[in-house]
């Protein structure tokens, strides 16, 4: 973890990082889904999709990427922390493999549908999880 992220993490807190990162990721996926729905692609459309994908990566890189590991390591009592942390790590990698395996198949059916689906998932996760996380952790 970079020193700037450690400083930001301790200064503004986990919930703010997760909420703003999820918001940025959702706001990047929506125009990506819209642009991917047009049948004839142009160079400007490709630049727009690339820009939105870069915004998504930025949102993930400062929030959901590193902060999830910190939250998973700190949300369980010390007595159960080892087993629970191994379960959260397994779950994270398992669902990453599922998404990685399903995305190429689903994107051939509808690329815009894939981006729209993931935008909905990020929106639900951000609006449902962040308030619960802020209430369950002493941040």
Distance set, CA 125 to CA 6, 30, 47, 118, 121 (Å): 23, 15, 28, 10, 6
pLDDT digits (tens, 9 = 90+) for 2-22: 666 666 666 777 788 888 899
Domains of the chain, by residue range, sit at 3-136
Decide if 33 contacts 115 (C-beta within 8 A): yes
Angle (CA) 24 29 31, round 5°: 105
Read out DSSP for 76-138? S-TTTHHHHHHHHHHHHHHHHHHHHHHHHHHHHH-HHHHHHHHHHHHHHHHHHHHHHHHHHS-
pLDDT tens for 70-121 read: 888 888 888 998 899 999 999 999 999 999 999 899 888 888 999 999 999 9
pLDDT recorded at residue 98: 94
The predicted pLDDT at position 55 comes to 95
Q: What local confidence, expressed as pLDDT, does residue 5 receive?
A: 61
| pLDDT greater than 60 at residue 138 | no
The pLDDT of residue 139 is above 50: no
Per-residue pLDDT of 58-70, as tens digits, reads: 999 988 888 888 8
Q: Mean pLDDT throughout 16-29?
A: 91
pLDDT at 23: 93
Architecture of domain 3-136: Up-down Bundle (1.20)
């Amino acid at each position: 973890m970079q020193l700037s992220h450690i400083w930001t993490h301790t200064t503004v807190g986990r919930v703010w990082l997760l909420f703003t990162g999820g918001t940025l990721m959702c706001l990047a996926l929506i125009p990506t889904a819209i642009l991917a729905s047009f049948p004839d692609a142009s160079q400007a459309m490709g630049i727009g999709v690339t820009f939105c994908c870069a915004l998504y990566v930025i949102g993930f890189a400062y929030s959901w990427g590193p902060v999830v590991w910190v939250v998973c390591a700190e949300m369980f009592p010390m007595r159960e922390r080892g087993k629970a942390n191994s379960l959260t790590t397994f779950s994270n990698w398992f669902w990453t493999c599922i998404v990685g395996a399903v995305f190429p198949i689903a994107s051939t059916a509808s690329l815009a549908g894939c981006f729209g689906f993931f935008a909905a998932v990020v929106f639900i996760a951000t609006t449902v999880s962040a308030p619960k996380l802020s209430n369950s952790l002493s941040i």
